[in-house]
Amino acid sequence: MLPGAPQLRLVAALVLLPPLFHLVSADLLTFALVWFAAASLIRSQTTALDRLMISGGLLIGWACALSLLTSYWPWGLHPVALAEATAIPLAAVVLVQGPRPARRRAPLRALLRRLVPTRDFPLLLTVAASGAFLLYPILRRDAIDRLATIITAEDLARHAALYDTILRLGGLTSLHQTEAAETVTLGLGTYPQGSHLTMAVLTSFLHGGTARGSGLAQISLFVALFAVVTAGLTAALLWAVQRAAGPALRGWRGLALAVPMAVYLVVAELPRMHGRGFLSEIFALGLLALLVALAIRPLSRTREQVVALGALAVGVSFGHYLLLPVAATTVLAWAVVHWRGWRRHWPTVLATSLAAGALVLFPPFVNAKSAGSADVLTLPGGIGPVGRHLLLPVVVAAFAALLTRRSLANKPRRVALITLASVSALCFGVMEYQLITVGSTSYFYEKMIHQLLVIGVICFGAALLPMLGRRVIAGRSDPAAPGAHRAPSARFRRGLAVLTATGCLGFTVLSNANPEVGPQGWQGSPGRALLRGEGSRPGIAERIAVIAAHHPQDGRVAVSLAGTRAWNEPIEDWGSAEDNIWLSVMNRNQGRAWEPWAWSLTRRSAEEIVKFTEASAAPLRFYVDDTSPLVADLKALSAGGKHPALALSVLKRDGHGALTVQPVKLG
């Protein structure tokens, strides 16, 4: 069937507009155009919000797959090249689909209601409020204050270096390990890079090219994009919970579920994950939420469903392949429960499975040497525990409702039960392995609990109808039922019940946001700490920014031995653990600066400094406080022209209280 005029116009816009938008520095319009086009190709019975969420996940999976090409072509991550490479397959789908069924021309009000149905307004309001809660504390700050908010998240410095390197190379560092060695820590060149790649793509469209700003400006943008990723996980989870709950909880009655879930996420759990710098995990959990929701409540068109699951699985693998076992079990559960539906489309299923399967295996394959042993599961790491007191009741209630006879006869809830059982079994398995091996649970067990958190709340949404009953959730649906003539009063009573339930549940969650230690409820919650900027280290951020700004471009690696550590460790340790890892990001030499960073973690004497300088493969410049006794000791050791490789600068406050850097003449 030949495409119609609207389809031809869309194809022409996809192909012709990206270069024109680039000429007028409006590449963000290209980004919006591609997203709109991808959303418009979904012809299953969905709302505009559904299509935007699903197409966003599809485009992330496509970007991960496309990175295998961008890593080698000459344009890197240039927005026009990315847009045209995406426009070609989108245009092909438009032409193959043919014209849409004819619709009667509707007035503008009807068109707007069709685009954003009234039943989506409550969810949109909840998502917007949650996003504002997470983004406001970051976006309102300047570059140095943004750095101060994440200064203690040591792993985030390595993520920032990966992001900046991917933008420089135009592709994955795992495919350019030699070129990436200068700016990425040894061993991290093959780390899963879906989140860093997606942020680099967004940066390309924001900047209108692949040019990078100064080190501080790039970190500032990275911190903002990290907050956007965290807000994206919130949006994905809230949408997934509502989709899993089904049409009975669409509209304003859905607030009774959406608001408590939003409070739980943005006040109790996500700020804790954000503060620890779990970028890759947060990114992949958002894609996992979309995948689980689509497996529970599939798209009405099987081919679209298969492609969506495949693309989301690719995104999950590139983002954080520790989530792959649960993602694979979820897809398998959908395939088993719905096998009668997809077996008629076996060519599409086979082709998608082969293509997606090969892409899914790529990140684990290239990272096999770095993380190919089960011993990795017992490695320690800094992580805060998930609040069991809120999560466990949700999981137990979901299991109880999904194991009823009514739920077992329902396909969506069977998929939810299998998914929830699989992630619970994995959590139990990791816990037992760690207890047997090292005698206690640690880092990766809490990581598994994060997966249980995401899947638990989604499956809880799927279990609500059998748990409470349709009459409680949706009320009477028969217009001829007794009392139907009192519709306004019935709607008022139902609205009052929704508001009451929403308020009570929201207050219950808020008052239990952090009951384990410290102040109870909101006063001790991670969300309040995020809003107030608690844990921010402006003094350390200022010191890092000043050193980076005044560091001579002479090829020397900056090594800070100044100040106090962010976590206020004992005096035996230097204060500059945070300084040096973030300086390596700003100076874009983390690969060379890794050894000096590790060396500077403990207190060093002047003699040790001289010895390390002369043995170092990279030339070094040390930064110390002007009151430090090291200044006099190093001057004495270098007197008479001895140790010419040694370079030293001091940090001091000027008459206006501003921090300055002054080189010290040695020898």
Q: How many beta carbons lie within 10 A of that of residue 572, not counting itself? A: 7
What is the structure's pLDDT at 45? 84
Residue 499 CB-density burial (10 A; 0-12 exposed, 13-18 middle, 19+ buried): middle
Cα three-residue angle 295-300-302, rounded to 5 degrees: 75
HSE-up (13 A, CA, CB side) for residue 577: 18
Confidence of residue 31 (pLDDT cuts 50, 70, 90): very high
Report the mean per-residue pLDDT for the chain: 86
Give pLDDT, residue 137. Answer: 93
pLDDT at 163 over 90: yes
- Is 294's pLDDT higher than 80? yes
Task: Point out the least confidently predicted range of 232-246, 444-458, 519-533.
Answer: 519-533
State pTM to two decimals: 0.92
Position 572 scores a pLDDT of 42
| Range 304-328 burial, b when 16+ CB lie within 10 A, else e | bbbbbbbbbbbbbbbbbbbbbbbbb
Question: Strands, E, within 511-556: which ranges?
Answer: none
User: What pLDDT, on the 0 to 100 scale, is given for residue 117?
Assistant: 65
Question: Is 67 a residue whose pLDDT tops 70?
Answer: yes
* C-alpha span between 10 and 3 (Å, rounded): 11
Distance in angstroms (rounded) separating the CA atoms of residues 627 and 379: 39
Work out the pLDDT band at 479, boundaries 50, 70, 90: very low
**Range name among 42-51, 91-100, 534-543 with the lowest pLDDT average:** 91-100
Higher pLDDT, 228 or 188: 228
Mean pLDDT, rounded, for 626-641? 88
517 has a pLDDT exceeding 60: yes
Name the strands in the sheet holding 659-664, side by side, starting at the edge strand that comes first in the sequence.
Answer: 557-560, 620-625, 648-653, 659-664
For residue 232, pLDDT beyond 90: yes
What pLDDT, on a 0 to 100 scale, did the predictor assign at position 535?
83
Helices (H), 439-537: 443-468, 470-474, 487-511, 526-532
Residue 545 has pLDDT above 50, yes or no: yes
- Beta-bridge mates of residue 652: 660
Q: Give me the pLDDT at residue 562, please.
A: 86
Q: For position 29, what pLDDT does the model report?
A: 95
Residues 6 or more apart whose CB falls under 8 angstroms from that of 489 comprise none
Smallest CA-to-CA distance from 81 within 97, 67, 98 is with 67
Mean pLDDT to the nearest integer, 304-328: 95
Share above pLDDT 90 across residues of the chain, in percent, rounded to a whole number: 54
Which pLDDT does position 107 carry in this prediction?
A: 66
- pLDDT tens-digit map of 362-401: 999 998 876 656 667 777 777 778 888 888 989 999 999 9
Q: Is the pLDDT of residue 357 over 50?
A: yes
pLDDT score, position 547: 94
